[in-house]
Amino acid sequence: MTGDFAAPTQPVVGIGASAGGLQALTEFVSRLSPDTGACYVIVQHLSPDQNSIMDQLLQPNARLPVSQIKSGEEVTANHIYIVPPGHLLELQDDHFHLTERDTSEHLHRPIDHFFSSLAQTKGRDAYCVVLSGTGSDGADGVKRVKAGGGFALVQESQGARFPGMPDSAVATGLVDFVLPVGDIPGRLQDIMAHRGNLRNERLRERLRHDVEASLETIAERLSEVSGNDFSSYKPGTLVRRIERRMSLLRVESVKRFLSILKDDQQQAELLAQEFLIGVTQFFRDAEAFEQLRERVIAPLVARDQRNIRIWVPGCSTGEEVYSIAMLFMEEMDRQDRHHVLQVFGTDIDMPALVNARHGNFSTPAVEALGKERRERFFTASNGRYRAISTLRESCVFAPHNLVQDPPFSRLDLISCRNLMIYLSAQLQSQVIPRFHFSLRDGGHLFLGPSENIAGEDKLFDVVDKKNKIFKRNSDAQTRYSALRDPVPKVRSSSPSRLAEAGFSPSHASEVALDVLAEREFLRQHAAPFALISEDGNIEFLSQRMADFVRPAPGTPSNAIDAYLVRELRVPVRSALAEAVESGRIARMQDVLVERDDKLTSYDISVSPLQDESQHYLLSLDTVRRIETGSLSQAVERREQADRDMLETENFSLRRQLSAALQEYETSGQELKSSNEELLSMNEELQSSNEELETSREELQSINEELETVNAELQENNRQLTRANSDLKNLFESTDIAVLFLDRNFCVRNFTPATSDLFGIRARDIGRPILDLSWRVDYPSLHDDARQVDETLQPLEREVQVKASGETFLLRVKPYRTTENLIDGYVLSFVDITSRKNFEETLRRNEEDLARQYGELENLYDTTPVGLALVNRSYEWLRINETLAAINGYSVQEHQGKNHDQLLPDIAEIVEGIFDRVFETGEPVLGIEISGQTPASPGATRYWIGDFYPVRSNGEVFAVGVCVREVTEQAKMVEEIRQQNSRQKILLGELQHRVKNTLATISAVAKMLSRPGDSPQEFRRRFLERLAAISRTHDLLTDADWREVSLFDVLRKDLRPYEGKDGDLLNLTGPDLLLSPQQAMALGMATHELTTNSAKYGAISADGGRIDVQTRVDDRDDTRHVTIRWVERGGPKISAPPKTKGFGSVMIEDVLASDLGGQVAVEYAPDGLVVEIKFSDPRLETA
Amino acid sequence: MKRILVLEDERLIALDIAATLEEAGYDVIGPHGSVEGALTALEDVPPDFALLDVNLGRHGTSLPVAEELARRSLPFMFLTGYTTLSESFPETFGDYRRVQKPFVSNELITALEEELPSE
């Protein structure tokens, strides 16, 4: 806080806005003139992860530069700053300081945060503006700014889109101006301009001087308005706040401000409110509270004392009260002792007390308490915290003026922190003895850190000097007495009283014009006169009579003897006595009075006035001026007359004196005895007075307490009434039938629905429920009630109304009073008839579904088509037995496995298809798949698969697979294909052979034609060869054109020549299996050899025979075959034939060539020998 | 005299072809019954023309010889028992003439003369 009249610094305007703020901000900035010298900071509620473009939105409307704040930036005048989202802003030495918002705090109050920082650093140069928004952010900040001497302006809630924030700020009662948003900039500029004027040092000094001088007048005025006496408050604070109010009103002279205070009661009330601003918080100065707990609270709780009474004067909004109550409750828990705790919180600030009593606190204030205390003592509601009822019940709040009202008594602790600093030393020294009086023996006093016991050291002993804990000194005596205190000022109920009592001189003068004339005449022309009372006091003097006054020395008196000139005293007294006695005019003549060194003779007359006032008029009539010559004669005469008068008077006085002496004697006696009586009476009275005073004090204290308790009770009563009406509304609005029974099953209460259902009427309240004819069939009420009593748990039961077939769910609960005692039962009936029906239908539907599902399931498993459902990880969601068998695993083994794990061989193919279906959402049908599965390892099998998407909520979540095995069909197709190709080869081979055979026959025909042969001869020879070829063909055809036995070939050719014995041909060695080509060549050669032998060789003679010897040698990776044709027993051969015929060509050339071997022909004498040699690796023996 | 290389595994048919050619006044190289023999003969005396039986039975086919002849740009024609339907004849030699077995002597000579490049 800056000093009383510190020089103004750079003003900073904090602007808080939230929902609906953009509109208000746009209008606000558009009205700001560019050279106010202030810096404007806009704080909003923004989501931390959203970028703000507020600066760009505002810039087009503003004549000032607009920018987002960067941390560390210097505060610049005539600039608009915007706090970036997700940050809290603070001011430090005219620099901005941003901190990340702590996201763990569930309530975000950036406006309060910045306003607090603003109040702390800028003090009286802090300005805050609250614009549209929901919630209550900014209200606490307004308090801080105001407490620091700053200014608060708020948008009018009618104009705001969301009035929550403006209304909360206004509710603090501290706001200076509530204006439409467009008027706020202008007002701000006015205030700042006025503050700017105070830069002039001299001006400021003068203003301060003026304010101090008028402080008393102002305090008086405020006392009339608010009933609080501020005259004893420290002037520093008051002056500062007066000066602030003057700034707000743009008033520069104190005189003018005083007249405003006089004329405008509201302004005076505002100033009084301003004087009362206090900032308080929970456990302000934690260390001091810890010491208090240790040194005062713990021992107090440990004592056997039923009531603990604490008083917190100047409690403001109650934080200190609740802090102390919490400390006591915690300590009582710790020691497990329970006392009745009463903490009285008093203040003169009524709005603050209302807040305190309600126990509602802002979130930052309560969160500073820590989690444990917060959860134990507070409940959150509507973004604020409320003290729990047990805490609130131990705290009692009441209006009370520490200085003027009687104090509380018999207290254990008084906590009066940071109140005394506002009081002057004189007031402090009055308050401290009151505290002493209020405390019990050994009670404690707890003061603020900069406070002390104002020199009353004997009253208190120091317990903790640092933390200002004091203990009452029982030896010292103080006595609270109302008489000793200044008379409490009567609270003015009618502030206009002054005006009514005001004197109006102008009006009076008009009325009294004639009186004035008379008065003037008297002053100018009348004889001197005076008004005298019956007992001789001068009451009034005319102007001229003033010459005859000469007061005697000593205490001034207006008695005749002490007031008039000496010469008049005796005659006037005598005349007055005569006039009083006679009731008529009394005269004295020739009274000489020396005036202006001359003797003048006057006639004196004293006449009674006509009214009832017992006054007499004295007048002096001038008889004549006495000349010096006749003076001695006149003096003598006068002296003679005076002597006579004196003697007469002397005589009467003596007589009176002796009578008086006698009276005095007797009354002296009487007085002496009555004095003795009085003395003793006085003693008695004095002692009873002391007693009375003590009881009066106590009564006054008790009365205060009672008033306090009464206020509290009234509040409770109001809340109860509200709760009762809430309950009544709840009862009447609920459709659920609820019946409240007491422990004897008598009806205590019921909801209207109950009356519809069970025919219960209001007159039935108090009657046993079982006496009533209720329609519900519920015989077990007693048993159920007993069970609820035992278990304390709600019990549920279905009950029937037989007549209508309705079913109700009955819930029996114990009836708990607010003290948590069981005092009856609550029966609630919920109609579940339709639910029952639904349940039945649902059950039937479920059965149908289950049956249909079973059928489908059966079909799924037994269909010969493989079916499965596969998810995105290629795992089987389900699979039927057919497909499981194809895959070679059981259905169970498929669960949770994917294709890679079970079917690695075909996984790659099908996964590609799955991907396609998932991607496109289109079915893929008729895909041929081949591969191996563990069902038949090593065998490639074939399937045709359909893949279709299965959707859930429009998204493909699985692929349905439908597989048909086609391995057998594929095999057949393959076989047919192979057969076709084999047949084609066979056909080609056949053609080749046929054509070759024909070509061979053609060649044979050409080679057989010899010149000179007859056609018959040619035909015979040709047909023989054709027959031989045909025979070999027959053999080959029999053997299916595979291998043919060499011996068969030989036997076939030789058979026509075999005799009966059949020993013509002698075969030795292994039979050879010949290829068709070999067979053809050897067949034709054999035919030529046979026909040659039949003509010329062994067969031509009886007994001739033919040996055919075969030999097979395996060497050089091949088979060497030797066939020897040896003829015996035929005619002797002398020489080889001269010409070579067809036979020779066939044997020596064609056979050798076709076999790829050598043929040797020897014409031995015993017969022909032909040796055939060839090799063939593939040749087999039979 | 034109030298005609004959490749035919069936010796009897080969002798018939050789006799037909010699009667028509050609000089016959071979007849050879195997691919190896024919290729060796090609190295010794390059023929003016060649007659190749396609299917050489256990000696395979005459295609290696045909390839060699084609490489040397020597003219030749095939003798075959197959019809176009029953045989998968290599495309490479689709342009060469094929004479069906069994052949008539003068038809063979006529075909040969048509194929022989004129001098």
Q: What is the pLDDT of residue A200?
A: 64
What distances in angstroms separate CA A852 from CA A403, A847, A849, one per listed residue?
A: 91, 9, 5
The Cβ of residue A207 has, within 10 Å, a number of other Cβ atoms equal to 21
CATH superfamily for domain A734-831: PAS domain (3.30.450.20)
Distance from CA of B119 to the nearest CA of A (A): 32
- Interface of chain B toward chain A, CB-CB under 8 angstroms: 9-16, 19, 33-34, 55, 57-58, 80-83, 86-87, 100-103, 105
pLDDT averaged over 10-residue windows placed end to end, chain A, 1182 residues: 52 85 84 84 77 78 86 86 84 84 69 87 86 82 84 84 82 81 85 72 74 80 73 71 76 80 79 69 83 90 86 86 91 88 85 82 81 87 81 85 79 86 75 86 86 79 88 76 44 37 40 72 80 83 79 76 79 84 82 74 83 78 65 75 81 86 88 84 81 82 83 88 89 85 87 79 83 77 86 86 81 86 87 86 93 89 87 87 86 85 83 89 87 82 89 88 88 90 82 83 84 84 88 87 87 78 82 88 89 84 86 88 89 77 85 87 87 87 79
Q: Does residue B36 form part of some domain? A: yes
- Interface of chain A toward chain B, CB-CB under 8 angstroms: 984, 987-988, 991-996, 998-1004, 1006-1007, 1075, 1077, 1081, 1084, 1145-1146, 1149-1150, 1153-1154, 1156
- With 80 as the cut, is the pLDDT of residue B4 above it? yes
Q: Contact B82/A992, CB-based, under 8 Å?
A: yes
Distance of alpha carbon A911 from alpha carbon B60, whole angstroms? 49
Residues of A in contact with B58 (CB under 8 A): 1075, 1077
- Which residue's structure tokens are 């099908």? A910
Sort residue A501 into left (φ over 0), alpha (ψ -120 to 50) or beta. alpha
Q: Could you tell me which residues come within 8 angstroms of residue A314 by beta carbon, excluding any fewer than 6 positions away?
A: A278, A346, A347, A402, A416, A418, A419
- Please give the residue of chain B at the shortest CA–CA distance from A1084: B12
Burial tier of A171 (Cβ tally within 10 Å: 0-12, 13-18, 19+): middle
CB-closest option in B11, B86, B105 to A987? B86
Closest CA to A794 of A779, A778, A815: A815
Architecture of domain A1014-1181: 2-Layer Sandwich (3.30)
Q: Contact B101/A995, CB-based, under 8 Å?
A: yes
Residues of B in contact with A1000 (CB under 8 A): 10, 12-13
Q: Do you know the residue count of chain A?
A: 1182
Instruction: Label the pairing between strands A384-387 and A360-361.
Output: antiparallel
CB-closest option in A996, A1006, A1081 to B101? A996
Q: What is the pLDDT of residue A4?
A: 40
- With 70 as the cut, is the pLDDT of residue B89 above it? no
- With 80 as the cut, is the pLDDT of residue B28 above it? yes
Q: What is the pLDDT of residue A1173?
A: 93
Is A87 catalytic? The answer is no
Is B52 in a helix, a strand, or coil? Answer: strand
Q: Looking at residues B57-80, what average pLDDT do you find?
A: 85
CATH superfamily for domain A12-197: Methylesterase CheB, C-terminal domain (3.40.50.180)
Q: Contact A1000/B13, CB-based, under 8 Å?
A: yes
- Which residue's structure tokens are 């409490």? A488
Q: What is the pLDDT of residue A509?
A: 43
- Please give the residue of chain A at the shortest CA–CA distance from B55: A992
Q: What is the pLDDT of residue A501?
A: 35
Whether A581 contacts A608, CB under 8 Å: no
Q: What is the pLDDT of residue A624?
A: 63
Q: Do you know the residue count of chain B?
A: 119
Q: Does residue B67 form part of some domain? A: yes
Structure tokens of B97?
């003439």
Q: What is the pLDDT of residue A179?
A: 86
Whether A579 contacts A585, CB under 8 Å: yes
Q: Does residue B14 form part of some domain? A: yes
Q: What is the CATH number of the domain that holds B89?
A: 3.40.50.2300
Dihedral sign computed on CA atoms, order A954, A958, A959, A963: negative
Q: What is the pLDDT of residue A1110?
A: 92
Instruction: Please determine, looking at this structure, whether the domain spanning A515-626 carries the CATH number 3.30.450.20.
Output: yes
Whether A148 contacts A6, CB under 8 Å: no
Residues of B in contact with A1004 (CB under 8 A): 12
Sort residue A316 into left (φ over 0), alpha (ψ -120 to 50) or beta. left
**Residues of the domain holding B70:** 3-104
- Please give the residue of chain B at the shortest CA–CA distance from A1080: B10
Whether A285 contacts A449, CB under 8 Å: yes
Catalytic residue among A55, A137, A229, A1053: A137
Distance from CA of B99 to the nearest CA of A (A): 12
Residues of A in contact with B9 (CB under 8 A): 1154
Q: Could you tell me which residues come within 8 angstroms of residue A1067 by beta carbon, excluding any fewer than 6 positions away?
A: A1047, A1050, A1108, A1110
Distance of alpha carbon A1123 from alpha carbon A1002, whole angstroms? 29
Distance from CA of A997 to the nearest CA of B (A): 9
Q: Does residue B86 form part of some domain? A: yes
Q: What is the pLDDT of residue A142?
A: 87
Q: What is the pLDDT of residue A505?
A: 40
* Fold designation for A863-965: Beta-Lactamase (3.30.450)
Q: How many domains is chain B partitioned into structurally?
A: 1
Q: What is the pLDDT of residue A628?
A: 58
Instruction: Label the pairing between strands A39-44 and A66-68.
Output: unpaired
Is A45 catalytic? The answer is yes
Burial tier of A669 (Cβ tally within 10 Å: 0-12, 13-18, 19+): exposed
Chains A–B, number of C-beta pairs less than 8 Å apart: 76
| A1117-1141: burial string, b at 16+ Cβ within 10 Å, e else | eebbbbbbbbbbbbeebeeeeeeee
* Fold designation for A280-484: Rossmann fold (3.40.50)
What was the ipTM of the complex prediction?
0.84
Q: Which of B12, B34, B98, B101 to mutate to test the interface with A (most CBs of A within 10 A)?
A: B12
- Which residue's structure tokens are 């900032």? A279
The Cβ of residue A683 has, within 10 Å, a number of other Cβ atoms equal to 10
Q: What is the pLDDT of residue A754?
A: 82
Helix, strand, coil shares, percent, chain A, to 5 = 50, 25, 30
Closest CA to B28 of B4, B44, B8, B61: B4
Dihedral sign computed on CA atoms, order A259, A265, A267, A273: positive
Is A18 catalytic? The answer is yes
Whether A426 contacts A445, CB under 8 Å: no
